[in-house]
Chains A and B, each alone.
Chain A
Amino acid sequence: MTKITSLTELKKLRDSLKEKMESYSLLDHPDSIIQVKVAMATCGQASGARPVFDYFKEELEKRNIPAMVTQTGCMSYCYAEPTIEVTIPGKNPVVFGFVNTRKADEIIERYIRKGELPDGVIPVNYETVISQ
């Protein structure tokens, strides 16, 4: 890892990382890919987020669906843990609650493959500041 030694350098790095991350969710972009985020804070893990995370990783690969499975902190819907967020390129992210491996299978087959919304969608109820 080379150290960042100026603000300009940091901004350049930020811009390239930002562009790359945003390109994942763009439609018809060479980098676009399905993103699955699993909330893996203490609350999520205590309710079984780890097996759900592993399941998505293994199953998406097995079923030949190119996807990026990552962990995040608490998505704040503690009452509905484990929670996950799925972003299909070109679409808004969708949050699902009470996800176990059975539900995960349904999400892969119905939402990720066919774009149908199964039950258990949690409406997003907050706004987030965007720094710039």
Chain B
Amino acid sequence: MSKYILKINDLTKSFTSDKDKSPLLFDSLTIEFPAGAVIGLMGTNGAGKTTLFNIISRLVDCDKGNIWYDNGDKQIDLLKLKANVLKGIGIGRLFQDNHIFADMTILDNLLIGGEDSFGETPFITLFKRKKHKEKEKIRVAKAKMILTELFGKDNYFWQNRNNYASELSYGQQRLLGIARLLMSDHKLLLLDEPTAGVHPEIREMICEVIRKINTSKGVSIIIIEHNFKVIEVTADECCFIDQGEIAAVGPPEDIIGNPIVRKKYIGI
């Protein structure tokens, strides 16, 4: 019995209610993601990778199927849950387009990702001001720690923590998104092209971070990538989606060497 973190079973999805007209994006997709591993998810543009993430994170409904998630003591069908409870069971998501709160400060962006939600009940801070101050201090300290861990001492983000996130560049916003995810602990991270649009140096750093989260905390990670290098460095296993179907599964070297994949990607 192989242990999995996520088991997608017979998943079917089309984008219009008119099933005859539009082809199914996924037709009985079945796939298992092993626990504790970094899995690369590849596929051409429009293959359905982001949609698969959207279905897993319950932002998009599917027509049929189950998605079993291993929550330690029991298996949960994610499709029975609401999107906002997924974080509670340890699932985190990085979007392909930066979903950063642009009109908030860098620090506030991080604080919102925090584990502890004290103070988010209205009025409570009025009555427990001391506790609130302490909790806030802890959150800020955590944010500082994560930024230092990721980007070193005296990093740009911490120094400009009171600037608006909208002033950050696209690549910096991606990094902020990753840092925001790290503000709380997860069991499964869904990363949608974490290195798209960032500088090669930073890309290497992100790869490192991904490996580190995986090895030191045992977090399972599914990472969508178009970049062969990133997959090679980070992924334990790789999975190639083509037109809503799994075209190839295996170790990254095999997939990257796979003629179908090469044809789709480089045209040879």
Q: Do A and B bind each other?
A: no
Binding site for A on B (CB under 8 A): none
